[in-house]
Amino acid sequence: MKRLSVSLGAAVGLLMISTAVFAHHGTARLRPDPAGNYAENYYEGNSPVTLQGTVTRFRFVNPHVLIYFEVKDEHGKIVTWVAESSPPQRLFRAGWKKDTLKPGDKITVIGTPWEGGAKMLVFRKLVAPDGRELGSYEPETE
pLDDT in tens, 45-99: 667 899 999 999 999 999 989 999 999 999 999 999 999 988 899 888 888 899 9
DSSP states of 12-58 as a string?
Answer: HHHHHHHHHHHHS--STT--B-TTS-B-S--B-TT--EEEEEEEEEE
Architecture of the domain spanning 49-135? Beta Barrel (2.40)
pLDDT in tens, 12-58: 666 665 444 444 444 344 444 445 544 445 666 667 899 999 999 99
Q: Indicate the SS3 state at residue 5.
A: helix
Secondary structure (3-state) at 104: coil
Omega prior to 139 cis, within 30 of 0: no
How far apart CA 93 and CA 83 sit, in angstroms, is 19
Q: Find out whether 83 and 122 touch, Cβ atoms under 8 Å.
A: yes
CA–CA gap between residue 138 and residue 65 (Å, rounded): 15
Q: What is the pLDDT of residue 124?
A: 86
